[in-house]
Amino acid sequence: MTFGEATAVRPAGEGTWAAEVAPGWDIAGNANGGYLLAIAGRALVAATGRPDPASVTAHYLAPGAPGPVTVDTAVVRAGRRFATGSGLLRREDGTPLLAVLGSFTDLAAQPAEGTPERVHAGPPALPPPRSCVLVEATDTFPPPFMGRVELRLHPEDAGFAGTEPSGRALVRGWFRLPDDEPVDSLALLLAVDAFPPTVFNARLPVAWTPTLELTAHVRARPAPGWLRCSFRTRFVTGGFLEEDGEVWDDTGRLVAQSRQLALLPRG
């Protein structure tokens, strides 16, 4: 099953879309947050009639298991360039899993000629994918979800899976979809939540960091090929941590930024 198939939505009433959380997209039984966001994003693309998210935010309300879901959408403004909509993704029993707010657009139609560009950082330096560390799915750890995406981790950032974490809250690596499925702007919502948590490398005494909120900005549709990604945490304080992501395409263009606010489980 492709990413496109696993995130498909179909009309199910006025502003409501039906979808399936497919099996195998989980970590310890809970569907990956970026995958759930991509389902909600696809419903909002359908609701707004705009093909691409420009900025989309999800608040995670409850873990998602495989099975039928619905997304109730509302378009709050439809302008010339952007349309803004909200969505609520629920399990069949009505339990809300994900609340979403986003502005959608047609990224192929922008920017206009002459718009200034000024970029003060480049993609992360990575060894070629064949020299990076493949994360392969298992029934437990690494989780089944790792069979749905292709990740190759920077060897310096893959120590958490072995014996020697780097000590830095940094994860860098390559991302693509299996079988050369193109990465569209909705698959970027998956990419920004596909990597292992940064704190796994930070020698912090935590086994998981549940996401409270994730925001992704999509700057452009990616060119074909591998994506270079980096995720970094600078502030573990107040019981929270942020994880800042950048995604660059094969032409060296920044295609997405993300930030999530995650929780440190109480000791």
Using the contact rule CB under 8 A, the part of the chain among 2-10, 109-117, 129-137, 145-153 near a copy of itself is: 109-117
- Decide: is 204 part of the binding site for a copy of itself (CB under 8 A): yes
* Residue written as token pair 């986003």: 102
Q: Which DSSP category does 149 fall into?
A: S
218 by DSSP, 3-state: which? strand
Say if residues 150 and 177 touch (Cβ distance below 8 Å). yes
The only residue of 10, 77, 92, 127 in contact with a copy of itself, by rule CB under 8 A: 77
Contacts with a copy of itself, 120-159, as mask; x by CB under 8 A? xx--------------------------------------
Tokens of 230: 């980096």
Nearest distance in Å: CB 212, a copy of itself: 6
Q: Which DSSP category does 108 fall into?
A: G
Between CA 152 and CA 38 the distance in angstroms is 22
Between CA 149 and CA 161 the distance in angstroms is 17
Report CA-CA distances (Å) from 38 to 30, 147, 156, 248: 15, 17, 29, 19
The only residue of 140, 163, 207, 266 in contact with a copy of itself, by rule CB under 8 A: 266
Between CA 181 and CA 210 the distance in angstroms is 29
- Decide: is 229 part of the binding site for a copy of itself (CB under 8 A): no
Using the contact rule CB under 8 A, the part of the chain among 9-17, 31-39, 74-82, 148-156 near a copy of itself is: 74-82
Q: Which residues bind a copy of itself (CB under 8 A)?
A: 54-55, 57, 59, 61-62, 76-77, 79, 82, 84, 86, 88, 96, 99-103, 107, 110-121, 169, 202, 204-206, 212-213, 215, 217, 219-220, 233-240, 242, 253-254, 257, 259, 261, 264, 266-267
